[in-house]
Amino acid sequence: MPIKIHLLPLGALQTNCYVVADTDTHEAVIIDPSDEAPKILEVVQREGYQVREILATHAHFDHVLASKPVKDATQAPFRLHAADVPQLRHAQQIAAMYGITAPEPAAHDGTVDEGTVIEVGTIKLETYFTPGHSPGHVSYVLRSEQVVFSGDCLFAGGIGRTDLPGGDYPTLMHSIFDKLVVLGDEFTVCSGHGPTTTIGEERQSNPFLLQWLNSSWRDES
């Protein structure tokens, strides 16, 4: 499949933005327009991509800081899960709590939910509802490439925080095991922060996953 994935760690929190492109049609999807819009748009312009969709895994401010300038420049629709729309509306205020001056995020043009399929050229992204880090967190599965864009659900050696508003630890762990781990060991995990990993590596060595398997939380939730 003629699909190319550009990984861009951006902004103060080095939040990963992904530009997923069909290199035959030059159509692209942007996942998590995190920050530093000029750097995102430079990739788009350099490669000659036509951005058809802008997607967020969730609406925490560090994942949507560049959403408005990227949307304005590409005229692509911006979508996320409905349960995270309230956080999108308060992204600037939440960023200020961390000492970060944030621009107004883009208005969303629609929503995604479990089972939503985004097709752009040969790119086919399946939406998995993976709450826990935030109420409306989703992950996007690119099955043809055996890749999952996990946002802040699962990281290399870590998991998403659950101490933020709307976070819930048992919900997060069920999302990881019920939606991501079952994809298979061979799947590459493209997360919201840090390097890529695989489901197999995390299943075998992620201390948070191993702790959950031996925890009474699992039986009580």
Confidence of residue 218 (pLDDT cuts 50, 70, 90): low
Strands 154-155 and 158-159: antiparallel
Global pTM reads 0.96
Question: How far is 191 from 173, CA to CA, in rounded Å?
Answer: 16
SS3 27: strand
> Shortest CA distance to 166 belongs to which of 140, 201, 210, 131?
131
Give pLDDT, residue 102. Answer: 85
170 close to 192: Cβ distance less than 8 angstroms: no
pLDDT in tens, 67-111: 999 999 999 999 999 999 999 998 888 888 888 888 899 999 999
Q: How many CB atoms lie within 10 A of CB 146?
A: 14
Question: How far is 145 from 187, CA to CA, in rounded Å?
Answer: 8
Task: Give the residue with greater pLDDT, 97 vs 62.
Answer: 62
Q: Which residue do the tokens 């969730």 mark?
A: 58
CA dihedral sign, ordered 190, 196, 200, 206: negative
Report phi then psi at 144, rounded to 5: -60, -30
- The answer to which of 21-25, 48-52, 174-178, 212-216 has the lowest mean pLDDT is 212-216
Q: In this structure, which topology does domain 3-220 adopt according to CATH?
A: Metallo-beta-lactamase; Chain A (3.60.15)
Domain ranges in the chain are: 3-220
